[in-house]
Structure 1
């Protein structure tokens, strides 16, 4: 390489790019005022302590996913059964037909549900207790259909098999309302495990058709009762948008208008749709009268209500909809959170046996359709960036910004709580964001997971006061998202993030690892109103890499900064400025750069930043000014007045670099040695 070429180099204004795994000065030293006030916050630093890529593995989380159904028939008297569901997500299908008048059984009248008439309320509590012990969450539906048979009269099917009538609805709607009061008193004690209550009650399977008592008047009474007895944090859903309109008085032809968008505080804000004809025809087996109009309404309503159901066989002409590729288009609009793993089994088998061929490059051609659907049901959080206070004192505040992408079809609709946990050499400290202190300048922004919308990236920002007793040392930062902020570990329904990193989930804490920082001595700062010796000792040298060059492509990865380039016909190389800050050459004598070359024979030039009188540093070259290996190389440069402000790194293309052949080298770390 000729020195004259350096005159062609253009300086670049640097931007903050930090390589993972860097030592003493792999972060930018914050610019601090001469005086440090209590609760001040230092500059934040991009860190790479975890992998920011999404995993392809299923992550079991509350209130979402493929469910298994648990059908229970309750009866008058004693001996009602307690079940022990162990699936992560459970659909409780609860039959109350034995409490209706039934001449076949000799019941002349309906029966109220009380502790005197039945032990079913106790049995229901037992089942819900077991769900909680097993960390399961549930969707609940009550029906008056024995074994959920779906027969409104005695029937012989096409195969000659006889089926007794299974649907026995109460004679009086008042009986239904009393039953709702009775079971509602139980459900209120299990708000943490219930994702949604499907209205049910009417007709076959509780799917609100084939009923003798479903009138607009009775629908209004039943829905009003559910909204009365079910906690506000739980969705109540009806079978179709048409039923929603019959209940609310909305015009189904105009349902997508702004007039029918609900707001927090509205009575119908938490009323949604369950869809047991999911993708089974152009109308989803009668779910929709006008698919586009009604889905446009659902698109907004299902951001705060739980939407899901059963994916079924496709009927009718045209291209089938019941596949992962169509779901990739529509499920992000309907915000689909749950589906039945057991029905329709043929559709589920097809999903398992087919390769996903959608537009998502993470999954397309790489996983089954089932994996794509399974991973996207409901919410799915991936941390794709973290900034935090890399070093501070316990006199100052700690701050962090966490970029969280929701790659799932939906957002969580339950009122989940966020807590920051700091754990290290000096103990464990928990910061529920709902309890932060303004007096200590603590704050949180965008901390409600209900606002981390599907397909969007949200940035959670926190500012936390560090206790005076917090010892110096290294600390890890975790984020806990859970329904109950007072519970610990895996209790309280915590949420796991879906990053492709085995270190991210801490089961003991029930929280997700974000990165680490250091608490240093207060002797390194000058407090407001007091002088502290050795103030300058806090200034450690640091560096930043300028990535503004269009000649190079920069990619931040866990193992360092990956830099790619392609040979050009007009100009084969340009410099990359690496700027140094706070380098005291009386203390720091050397800078050590660890790189991985793209190939043997690669030229990697390094000079100071004086374009008129450049100084070449060549101790990493062989006699031909080239690397001889593609293994990690260590470059050591003596620091002096000519390079203490930074260096230039550049690549010189050779005959081995073809115009079409992209080269990539990695800067793994840059450290300063005393």
Structure 2
């Protein structure tokens, strides 16, 4: 094997093009070290869209497609549509003769269930991938009678639009469809030209830039119009259609060719290596271990370097158990990455934890003290010790926190280019609001995917592999803290924004609005925040100290249990009776298997997470179990059984009753601002509820007719200074306390013409800021742009720069 040598050369090229910001330089800029432990943490961390995957197989028939409830950082959905194909829905007689059935179009039940399943993915914090197939049992020729009917099914999928609607959580789509298991062998349409035609169609149907993966490299060669011999020298054009093509390998490590996946392993891996910087490579380990052992491909000294070389992003739960018999050490190292933290661990754990990307914070330096309205500087080093880089784009944000109130802004950082075996050093210059509260603020860095709401902060978020830095509730990584000090310049400024000033690409800034996580429950099987176990939520406690806590918001019922148990193979049971309907419900979780006695047998929207003695359940309000405000639950039982010991009870606790409250969360925090005379500021009540009504107050006094979710503060004089608060009322009349949303500290005269940085004077610094704005190296607030619009033509541009230079004679 030559992968170690090739890997080192490839990594050297990648490292040469990545900009670095050494810590020494950061220290020279007056930054201080955060004091974080930069040693890599041993253990599995959150890497949405990559890693140790779960699979969910479900069969679809005309009128009978069920919806499912996926969870996990990456779940591969095997969607068997054989019930719509004459090649699968026919009959077989006792002699094994098959009589074809009937080809059907996909129906409304299918599309409704697909959308429900993907919506559950979104609401459960899951990332998903898809394979459509006509066979789940290895039966040959499962496709429809004609190629055109298969194309009709694919066109129906395009026309429905669910791939488009859920693309924010969709990692990749396997080209699938044809052959046994959708693995593109043993079918009617499994010729290389047919599979290349299928790839072309799937690239049209799957929204750009979501990858489409093929089963073997020669399919790509046929599609690209090259020979197989040219694969090793193929040059991929960045951003091209070809850059979306990846590979799913269902014979992984099963032989020297991975059971026919590769025709020339070294050549095909050279092609794969460049493809997997922008697309996915993964699949499942070969299930025939005895056959695989005839070859040396699977041995760690070959497998580990190849996983790095090929950028393996995911593999299914069938990771070879034999890797537990090997101990990871220096002999399995590859050049360009520090894996010493894993010396002495099993190769199994090393592989599991390094699938996809794995970010380790190696340095974090930031300003020790910043004046109000000034710039917070942050510089960090992040090493990717994983096999691959992220493929879906991840939103990057900086969050600041003080006394449970948070400020956030998007920043310019593309983690897709944080390549395996490299260290990147992003720098962020962050403008702070002029009236930001003085004191000590904590800094967090957050990467996430998906269109997540404020109540879903932790969803699909990336965890750095460092100890004591991960904030589960925020889904963010701690970088250090700094002090904000009061300043006269800040007191004179009306720039309330929090935004990055050194962004190469424009990012969405923040208007300085603060939020809280009050009432937010994070279902992760651990004590995420003290509010999850506060005394007011305690519903049961026994003599052994086991406890049950119950609460709800407007969407879910949450049950958290602390119960000591020693089951070797635990099965987690939850049951209760809906006193309003008289119906009893029972569900248990055994590994990935879930039993539910409710309608359909699938607990849609339910989530269970456990760790040690702690378990958390999330149950949706609504039709599934008839849960709604005012409904009383009785006999709420949690029991752990040990499957390894004849299903005996290993512990239990019971709460007699809980009445579901008419409740919702208000996330609004109190921002402090300075406003310019004549300015209007919109403030909003951020809530988790619906069908709500609002009433705004100033300094505790009701503001007549201020009954919208958004209130506009018009700053006309000092009389408009004060605290603006909101009270929220549910449709049934339940009122919250007053929530302070904004404090107007000062109403100032309009800034001087040309005073872009709003420091009260027109200086060369304003020229520099305008120059940065014109080259997109800085973003002006509306007020700054108004101050820079010297010729009053409605825009701040190069003409204003000329005038400003004339004023200052520069």
Instruction: Using structure 2 for the length normalisation, give the TM-score.
Output: 0.53
1:150, CA displacement in angstroms?
0.6
* Comparing 217-226 and 206-215, the one that deviates more: 217-226
Gaps spanning 5+ residues in structure 1: where? Answer: 1-14, 19-26, 31-42, 153-166, 434-443, 529-674
Give the alignment partner of residue 173 of structure 2, picking from 197, 201, 225: 197
**Cα gap change, 1:298/1:16 in structure 2, threshold over 3 Å: closer, same or farther?**
closer
- Whether the aligned pair in 2 keeps the contact of 1:242 and 1:252 (CA below 8 Å) is yes
Give the alignment partner of residue 410 of structure 2, picking from 409, 426, 432: 432
Tell me the equivalent position of 1:310: 284
> Which of structures 1 and 2 has the bigger CA Rg?
1
Aligned to 1:227, the other structure's residue is in SS state helix
Give the alignment partner of residue 144 of structure 2, picking from 170, 189, 201: 170
In structure 2, C-alpha distance between the alignment counterparts of 1:138 and 1:190, rounded to whole Å? 9
Aligned to 2:243, the other structure's residue is in SS state coil
1:521, CA displacement in angstroms?
2.7
1:506, CA displacement in angstroms?
1.5
Give the alignment partner of residue 392 of structure 2, picking from 414, 424, 427: 414
Structure 2 residue 472 is the aligned partner of structure 1 residue 515: no
* Comparing 375-384 and 475-484, the one that deviates more: 475-484
1:427, CA displacement in angstroms?
4.5
- Whether the aligned pair in 1 keeps the contact of 2:358 and 2:384 (CA below 8 Å) is yes
Gaps spanning 5+ residues in structure 2: where? Answer: 1-21, 92-98, 334-338, 494-810
Tell me the equivalent position of 1:125: 115
- Whether the aligned pair in 2 keeps the contact of 1:314 and 1:320 (CA below 8 Å) is no
**Cα gap change, 1:151/1:17 in structure 2, threshold over 3 Å: closer, same or farther?**
closer
Tell me the equivalent position of 1:338: 314
1:396-431 CA distances to partner (integer Å, 9 max, x unpaired)? 211111111111000001011101111225943211
Give the alignment partner of residue 144 of structure 1, picking from 129, 134, 141: 134
- Whether the aligned pair in 2 keeps the contact of 1:140 and 1:197 (CA below 8 Å) is yes
Structure 2 residue 350 is the aligned partner of structure 1 residue 372: yes
In structure 2, C-alpha distance between the alignment counterparts of 1:426 and 1:149, rounded to whole Å? 53
CA RMSD for the aligned pairs? 2.8
**Cα gap change, 1:423/1:81 in structure 2, threshold over 3 Å: closer, same or farther?**
same
In structure 1, C-alpha distance between the alignment counterparts of 2:155 and 2:182, rounded to whole Å? 18
Q: Which has the higher contact order (CA 8 A, sep 6+)?
A: 1
Structure 2 residue 65 is the aligned partner of structure 1 residue 80: yes
1:62-94 CA distances to partner (integer Å, 9 max, x unpaired)? 111112221111001x23212223343322111
**Cα gap change, 1:284/1:356 in structure 2, threshold over 3 Å: closer, same or farther?**
same
Structure 2 residue 307 is the aligned partner of structure 1 residue 350: no
**Cα gap change, 1:301/1:131 in structure 2, threshold over 3 Å: closer, same or farther?**
same
**Cα gap change, 1:496/1:120 in structure 2, threshold over 3 Å: closer, same or farther?**
same
In structure 1, C-alpha distance between the alignment counterparts of 2:372 and 2:126, rounded to whole Å? 40
1:296-333 CA distances to partner (integer Å, 9 max, x unpaired)? 11111101101001122364786522244323211111
Give the alignment partner of residue 386 of structure 1, picking from 364, 385, 399: 364
Tell me the equivalent position of 2:698: none
Structure 2 residue 260 is the aligned partner of structure 1 residue 286: yes
Structure 2 residue 85 is the aligned partner of structure 1 residue 100: yes
**Cα gap change, 1:521/1:268 in structure 2, threshold over 3 Å: closer, same or farther?**
same
Give the alignment partner of residue 359 of structure 1, picking from 332, 339, 353: 332
**Cα gap change, 1:204/1:523 in structure 2, threshold over 3 Å: closer, same or farther?**
same
- Whether the aligned pair in 1 keeps the contact of 2:32 and 2:367 (CA below 8 Å) is no
**Cα gap change, 1:389/1:309 in structure 2, threshold over 3 Å: closer, same or farther?**
same
In structure 2, C-alpha distance between the alignment counterparts of 1:283 and 1:220, rounded to whole Å? 21
Bigger fraction of residues in helix: 2
**Cα gap change, 1:16/1:523 in structure 2, threshold over 3 Å: closer, same or farther?**
farther
In structure 1, C-alpha distance between the alignment counterparts of 2:196 and 2:24, rounded to whole Å? 59
Aligned to 1:192, the other structure's residue is in SS state helix
In structure 2, C-alpha distance between the alignment counterparts of 1:474 and 1:53, rounded to whole Å? 26
- Whether the aligned pair in 2 keeps the contact of 1:426 and 1:470 (CA below 8 Å) is no
